[in-house]
Amino acid sequence: MGTLSLFMTFVPPSWHIHPFLKRGIPQITFLLLLVVSIFHRVTQQRPVTRELLYGLCALYLNFVLAFALTYNLIERLSPHSFVSANGPLDMASFVYFSMITLTTIGYGDIVPVHPLPRLLAGSEAIMGALFIALAVARGLSLMSDDSKD
């Protein structure tokens, strides 16, 4: 998928593909595959090690990036899907919005107004809360398994 994403940057302009579709969709797909790969690795890890903790952090940050790319793609395809008090939104703004949403802080300075990003933001907030709960539960269960041995 990374190769496809790289290939799409060299697509000739004569193909008339929207720039965010030719780069956005492959990048989002690549990040989602990376999330699945890291998730598989983290769930197979037996002892609580630094690798497990690094994997959980990488997984969390990949969620942020995948959602940020999706929000950016939605905003480019359907302008004014988000309202911001700080003017036009760029990728950095969506990374910030995604991090604030995933951690369920929700400052409200960027607001999704289109139904699709509103649904995604709600899903991201639920996923963020469940991720923390599951990561803590997984870590504790592995620690208690190690202490029984």
* Domain range annotation of the chain: 27-148
Other CB atoms within 10 A of residue 68 CB:
24
Confidence band of 6 (pLDDT split at 50, 70, 90): low
**What are the pLDDT digits (tens) for 92-118?**
999 999 999 999 999 999 999 999 999
pLDDT(133) > 80: yes
Least confident of 56-60, 90-94, 137-141: 137-141
Other CB atoms within 10 A of residue 67 CB:
26
CATH number of 27-148: 1.10.287.70
For 33, 34, 77, 124, the CA distances from 112, given in Å and listed in that order, are 26, 26, 14, 13
The share of the chain scoring above pLDDT 70, in percent, equals 83
Confidence band of 82 (pLDDT split at 50, 70, 90): very high
Per-residue exposure over 5-42, b if at least 16 CB sit within 10 Å of its own CB, e if not:
beebeeeeeeeeeeebebbbbbbbbbbbebbeebeeeb
Q: What is residue 71's predicted lDDT score, i.e. its pLDDT?
A: 95
